[in-house]
Amino acid sequence: MKRTFATIALLAVCAAFAFAQQVRLDNAIRSAAEDLSASIGRGNRVAVIAMESDSNGLSGYLVSEMIHAFVRLQARHGFTVVDRAHIDMLLVQLEFDMSGFVDENTAQRIGRFMGAQFVVAGEFEPLGNTFRFRVRVFEVETAAIRGSYAATVQRDNIINNFLNPPTVIQPPMRGGFTNGERWGAFFLNLVIPSAGSFAIMEDWVGGTIQVLMFAIEFPFFIFGTVDGVTATSLIPWGVCFGFRTAMNIVSSAMTTRSTRRASVADPEAWNIALTPGRNGIEKISLSHAIRF
């Protein structure tokens, strides 16, 4: 009994110790920046170029937060941090993805292109129910690793939002229109005849019929208003109004959204690429994509 109790107590202590070694993501980012700042040195430029993870959104978040953490320390340590917008623009030119893995040679190439003396890159990978966060500082001139940081990170809401984004519930649709669009078209047609059919449903047949019925109905309505309500004016007006209302219901409830037809005459479907050369434009490429 004593041995069993001692074993349980030892496991509880080990579990508590392991949990104590885990840190939150934001704390890990701040700690990484503080530990690595001493490796950069005064008067140098540093660029955070990539953070590899299972989510592009999470990689972008890690890069942005790491840049922010280094900016808070640059006055104290005397280095300069390359702005995120400038990094994005240069990486696009290099056709490099911030979520990808960076080795020493790649870090050296990117750093030289940016005019930085040091570059920062890292990985964020799952490790059971936790994550392992590793960050390294590369010296651009020699491609040598000048500093590194590693921590075990707890799963929190920030990580869950990137790795398990909330499901967006789409409103129910019938024939390409939501129930809200159909009700909106119906009531808009009551206020302004055919406005909902034309503007929302794009039902030109149903909208045209409603316009014609209103054109026939309107004189009887005016005649009944001026000379008093009589069978001569009320019956034709009621028939036309009833037919127009029925057509409004049919148009709002039964119309299906028409799909856009692809056409080579559609200017939005064409892409033009200009290839520069020594003497100006060397080549013009024309491509066409048909979208359904």
pLDDT one-digit tens code per residue, 95-141: 776 666 777 788 888 888 888 999 999 999 998 889 999 999 999 99
Write down the mean pLDDT value for the chain: 77
**CATH superfamily of domain region 21-163:** ABC-type transport auxiliary lipoprotein component (3.40.50.10610)
Q: Which two tokens stand for residue 5?
A: 């109790």
Could you read off the pLDDT of 43-81 as tens digits, one per residue? Answer: 999 999 889 998 888 999 999 999 999 999 999 999 999
pLDDT value of residue 26: 93
Question: Span 244-248, mean pLDDT?
Answer: 85
Please give the pLDDT value at position 45: 93
Return the closest-CA partner of residue 251 out of 215, 192, 210.
210
Mean pLDDT of 160-169: 75
Q: Cα Rg for the chain, rounded, in angstroms? A: 33
Nearest-CA neighbor of 32 among 123, 163, 144? Answer: 123
Of the two residues 18 and 80, the one the predictor is more confident about is 80
The predicted structure's pLDDT at residue 27: 94
What are the structural domain ranges in the chain? 21-163, 177-254, 259-292
Report the C-alpha gap between 128 and 122 in whole angstroms: 19
Residue 45 has, within 13 A of its CA and on its CB side, a CA count of: 16
